[in-house]
Every structure is written in structure tokens, then in C-alpha cells.
Amino acid sequence: MTGSGNDAYTVARREDALDFMADYPGYGEQRWYTSALGAEQVSFSWRRMLPGTGGRGSYGHRHPGQEEVYFVISGTVTFKIDDDVLEAGPQMAIRIGGTAFRSVHNDTDEEAQLLIFSPRLEEPPTELQDDFWGP
């Protein structure tokens, strides 16, 4: 939905946003609102993480030249950023620079929700690091 007067504003509902997790039942949702809103400068995702889901046991990733900001809405999320592991709870924000490998996981028995923001790039570079969490 677009507001009156050119480009004044747009509105997107949850179902308008692409769900990156749709092919992974039981993992929750990650809705990318950027295209649904027609945002030109900001990339924005909402993620709902079910208990015991996320990147633990898989790869880490980074986006050279692009920082990300994670904001925890509810629950507790475990972050691994390079060699550091930390927990973030409601109303905590974490900025991760483009050189750092990262992964997030919900280690708790409760659902967690977070927002992820970054500059919008048409094709953001992504590098993967296998076995990021280690044994």
C-alpha cells in the first residue's frame, strides 16, 4: 500500500514480506520487509525463532563492507561473533561490523523475536565459514 502524494510512504503487512524460512518448517520465520516496502536505503527483517533453532552447528557468515544491527524484541538469543559468544535479551541491540563472522541461535525453551537492520545493497557480498560453532 502506498500513501498519497508520490512516494510519501508505503505499508507492508506480514504476508507481504518474503519469508526466508518458508522452506525450513519448524524453524520459525524470517520476513524480509525491504522489497515489500520498496525501501531503497534500509534493509529490514523480522525474525521469529522457535526454541532450539538458529545457526548453532552450521555455518557462520559475514557481509564485507556492510554492518548489521540486531534488536531483540522478546526472548533471549545467543550470538556467536567471531570467537565471542554472548546472550542478548529484550530491548538489547548488537551492531556487527562487516568483517566479523556471525551466527545466532535460540538456546532457550521460549520463542524469541528480533529485528535485523542493514544498509540496502542490491547484492550484498556474503562469505560463509563452515563449522563456525565448533564441536
**Full-model pTM:** 0.89
Report how far Cα 12 is from the mean position of its chain's Cα atoms.
18
Cell of 103: 551466527
The answer as to whether 90 is a domain residue is: yes
pLDDT in tens, the chain (135 residues): 555 456 789 999 999 999 999 998 888 999 999 999 999 999 999 999 999 999 887 889 999 989 999 999 999 999 999 999 999 999 999 999 999 999 999 999 999 999 999 998 877 788 899 989 887
The answer as to whether 22 is a domain residue is: yes
The CA distance from 81 to 54, in Å, is 14
Instruction: Yes or no: say if 84 and 51 are a contact pair by the CB < 8 Å rule.
Output: no
Q: Which domain holds residue 124?
A: 17-129
The answer as to whether 10 is a domain residue is: no
Tally of structural domains, the chain: 1
pLDDT on residue 35: 93
pLDDT on residue 1: 53
CATH code where residue 63 lies: 2.60.120.10
H helices of the chain, in order, are: 33-37
